[in-house]
């Protein structure tokens, strides 16, 4: 799964029968501001990725931040 356009464009592709999923999220690594604001951005993206389907149909991780906020670039 890729979650930003940069990864979708430059990450290597390995031959396989696996389904490739792509969804563009604002890159939290580019977040500016206080440490709290940056952590919030990472958790916000995680909260949007969590409900996405997985190959097994289950989720294997949980975020300590249950508040899902709208994504902003």
Q: What is the pLDDT of residue 32?
A: 93
Residue 31: count other Cβ atoms within 10 Å of its Cβ.
16
Is the predicted pLDDT of residue 34 greater than 80, yes or no?
yes
What values do phi and psi take at 37, rounded to 5?
-65, -40
Nearest CA-CA partner of 2 in 47, 42, 44, 49: 49
Terminal C-alpha separation, the chain: 20
Give the global pTM.
0.55
CB of 52 closer than 8 Å to CB of 61: no
Mean model confidence pLDDT for the chain = 75
- Does 61 score more than 50 pLDDT? no
């Amino acid at each position: 799964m890729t979650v930003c356009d940069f990864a979708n464009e430059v990450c290597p592709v390995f031959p396989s029968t696996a389904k490739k999923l792509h969804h563009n999220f604002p890159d939290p690594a580019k977040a500016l501001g206080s440490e709290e604001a940056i952590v919030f951005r990472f958790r916000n993206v995680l909260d949007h990725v969590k409900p996405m389907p997985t190959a097994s149909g289950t989720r294997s991780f949980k975020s300590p931040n249950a508040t899902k906020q709208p994504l902003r670039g």
